[in-house]
Amino acid sequence: MDTEALHTERDRSSAPETDGSGTGERSRSVRVPRRMSWRRAGVLGGVCAVFLLLLSQFVMQPFQIPSTSMQPALEVGDRVLVNKLAYRFGSEPRRGDVVVFDGTGSFVPEDVVENPVSAAAREGLAALGLAEPSDTDFVKRVVGVGGDRVVCCDKRGRLQVNGVPVDESYLYAGDAPSHVPFDIVVPQGTLWVMGDHRSKSRDSRDHLGEPGGGTVPLDRVIGRADWIGWPLDRWSTLPATGAFDRVTAPDGAHG
C-alpha cells in the first residue's frame, strides 16, 4: 500500500477549503476587528453621552425655544446654550439678562405632576437639546430685580424702572411695552421677567394676582442664555442690552 499517498489525501481533507486566494482566512480576520470596532464605538458613544449629560447638568445646557414669546432675539426652534455658571459664584441676574428658569410655583402650579418615566426620557433628550423643554421651563428677559419698582406705562407709553424710562429697542416691531398696566415693587430674592414679543408672551404680568405676584425666585433660575447654537445660520452670542444702563437701584446705586 502506498502510505505516502494516504497521508497526502488525509492532509488535503483536513485543510480548510479555499478558492486558492486565501479569502477564508481573511474573512475571519476581518470579522474579528469589525466586532471590536463596533464595541469600541459603543463604549465611546456611552462615554460621550455621559460627558454631555454632566456638561449639561453643571456647566452649559442646550434649551430649545418652543414659542414666539422672545422674538425677535429668539425664534421658534432655536437652540440656545444656557450658561449654568453665570450665577453660581455670587453673581445674580441683572436687568436685561435673558434667563431660563423653572416656573414651578410662580408660572405653573406646584401640584402639576408628569408621568415619571416620560418625564425622565424627555429631560434626558432636552438636556442634549433634542427635545422641547419641560412645560415648567421658561425663557424671558429680566426687567426688574429685588427692590425695583417697575411701572407701565408712563405718559409716553414707556416702561419705567425706579422712575427711569427704559428704551426697549429689543421689543418685537410694533409691540407696546405692555397693554396691561401695572405698578409693582419686586420682592427681594425674586425677579420680574417679561418676553420681548409682549403681545405673544405670558410672563410676570399674567400672574399678578397669584401667590408671588408673578415674580420668579432666584433659586429657580437655571442659567443665562448666552449663545444661539443652532441652526448654524443663526449661530451667535445673545448681545447684552444697554436699555437699563441709566437705571439706578432704589438705594441710588447702579445695577
Residues identified as active-site: 69, 140
Strand bridging mode 236-237 / 137-145? unpaired
Please tell me whether the peptide bond between 133 and the residue prior to it is cis, using omega within 30 degrees of 0.
Answer: no
- β-pairing verdict for 159-161 and 164-166: antiparallel
Query: Is residue 164 a contact partner of residue 247, using CB atoms and an 8 Å limit?
Result: yes
Handedness of CA 45, 50, 52, 53 (dihedral sign): positive
> d(Cα 240, Cα 142) in Å, to the nearest integer?
12
Residue pair 221/146 in contact (Cβ under 8 Å)? The answer is no
Label residue 47 exposed, middle or buried (CB < 10 Å: 0-12, 13-18, 19+): exposed
